[in-house]
């Protein structure tokens, strides 16, 4: 392990990045499959999805979109600053990304709490009274945004490890493949949200 | 070769421009869906999401600057996904 941690001859940055991309592909197809499920169910329950989608708070969804897009920019910039060898700026930029991720999760928490308070959660009596379409919509809403939130938590953890390695000098201007991979993962999480946002909040 | 990394450095300014474009597309997709356009709004919102994803793939994820192999791999996966999507919808439209 310590060999890959330093700038050793056995490390192959291209292979490392291809490995990260392969993992990203599995994630893309995982969420891709869920998007297809969503489309098919929406197709067969159009009226219910129309009404249920209006329950969601567009403002909170839009704010979270802006937060994630901005965090994607800061993590992309951290790769540039690492390439310039500016460790302090890199740490600030990764830290900002993590902070924005946490703000996203806090918003998600309040959003979910409000829905649950109103009795809109899978298996609730109110939802069952509305019928199958609404049950399916909120089932998908909680499952897909929940799975996405888990990815945000994974991304924050990933970037946290990368950040401590940058701080220790294990990731530096001549060896930053792990920072690049962390950034790639964060962008993936951003892309998933870019599709979740219109599907759940915009299209009614 | 084994230890070389990509040395193309993307400027900070480029990322700021991309973020501004992403925010503009977000605003436009919100604007478009605020009118009652029905299926057209769905297509428009998904089209803007696709534009945004393309920008993120090309610039934030460096596909534009990296070796072509990554871009080729991404295209193949996207084609597979589109194929599954098309087959599913063909199935549903002709039932």
Per-residue pLDDT, A122: 86
CB contact under 8 A, A73 and B18: yes
Residues 29-68 of B with CB under 8 A from A: 29-30, 33, 41-42, 45-46, 48-49, 52-53, 56-57, 59-62, 66-67
Residues B34, B55: one domain? yes
pLDDT band for A112, please (50, 70, 90 cuts).
Answer: very high
User: What does the pLDDT look like over B25-81, one tens digit per residue?
Assistant: 999 999 998 887 777 888 899 999 999 999 999 999 999 999 999 999 999 999 999
Which residue segment(s) compose the domain that B17 sits in?
1-64
Residues B27 and B55 in one domain: yes
Domains and CATH numbers, chain A: 13-202 (1.20.120.80)
Domain total in chain B: 2
Residues B78 and B55 reside in one and the same domain: no
Same domain, B52 and B7: yes
Mark which residues 61-80 of A lie under 8 Å from B by CB. Answer: 62, 65-66, 69-70, 72-73, 76-77, 79-80
Check whether residue B89 and residue B49 sit in a common domain. Answer: no
CA nearest to B75 within chain A: A25
Q: Do B31 and B46 belong to one domain?
A: yes
What share of chain A has pLDDT > 70, as a percent? 96
Q: Are both B46 and B88 inside the same structural domain? A: no
Residues B2 and B34 in one domain: yes
Does residue B71 sit in the same domain as residue B60?
no
| Chain B contact present for A8, CB below 8 A | yes
Put simply, the answer to whether B41 touches A203 (Cβ < 8 Å) is yes
* Token pair belonging to A204: 């009614």
pLDDT tens-digit series, residues A40-74: 999 889 888 888 888 899 999 999 999 999 999 99
**Which positions in chain B touch A28 (Cβ < 8 Å)?**
77, 81
Residues B54, B33 within the same domain = yes
| Residues B32 and B58 placed together within one structural domain of the fold | yes
Please check whether residues B3 and B31 belong to one and the same domain.
yes
SS (H, E, C) chain A: CHHHHCCCCCCCHHHHHHHHHHHHHHHHHHHHHHHHHHHHHHHHCHHHHHHHHCCCCHHHHHHHHHHHHHHHHHHHHHHHHHHCCCHHHHHHHHHHHHHHHHHHHHHHHHHHHHHHHCCCCCCCHHHHHHCHHHHHHHHHHHHHHHHHHHHHHHHHHHHHHHHHHHHCCCCECCECHHHHHHHHHHHHHHHHHHHHHHHHHHCC
């Amino acid at each position: 392990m310590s060999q890959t941690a330093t700038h050793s001859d056995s490390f192959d940055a291209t292979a490392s990045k291809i490995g990260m991309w392969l993992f990203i592909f599995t994630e893309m197809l995982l969420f891709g499959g869920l998007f297809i499920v969503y489309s098919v169910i929406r197709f067969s329950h159009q009226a219910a999805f129309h009404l249920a989608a209006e329950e969601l708070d567009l403002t909170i969804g839009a704010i979270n979109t802006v937060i994630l897009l901005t965090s994607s920019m800061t993590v992309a910039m951290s790769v540039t600053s690492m390439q310039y060898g500016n460790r302090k700026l890199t740490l600030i930029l990764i830290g900002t990304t993590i902070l924005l991720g946490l703000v996203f999760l806090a918003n998600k928490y309040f959003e979910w709490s409000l829905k649950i308070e109103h009795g809109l959660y899978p298996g609730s009596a109110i939802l069952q009274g509305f019928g199958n379409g609404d049950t399916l919509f909120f089932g998908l809403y909680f499952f897909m945004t929940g799975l996405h939130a888990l990815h945000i938590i994974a991304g924050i953890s990933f970037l946290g490890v990368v950040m401590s390695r940058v701080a220790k000098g294990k990731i530096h201007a001549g060896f930053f493949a792990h920072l690049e991979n962390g950034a790639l993962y964060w962008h993936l999480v951003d892309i998933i949200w870019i599709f979740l946002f219109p599907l759940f909040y915009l299209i009614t | 070769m084994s230890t070389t990394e990509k040395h193309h450095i993307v400027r900070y300014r480029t990322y700021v421009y991309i973020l501004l474009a992403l925010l503009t597309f977000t605003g436009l997709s919100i604007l478009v869906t605020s009118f009652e356009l029905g299926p057209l709004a769905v297509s428009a919102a998904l089209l803007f999401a696709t534009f945004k994803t393309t920008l993120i793939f090309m610039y934030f994820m460096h596909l534009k600057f990296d070796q072509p192999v990554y871009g080729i791999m991404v295209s193949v996966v996207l084609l597979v996904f589109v194929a599954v999507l098309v087959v599913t919808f063909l199935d549903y439209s002709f039932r």
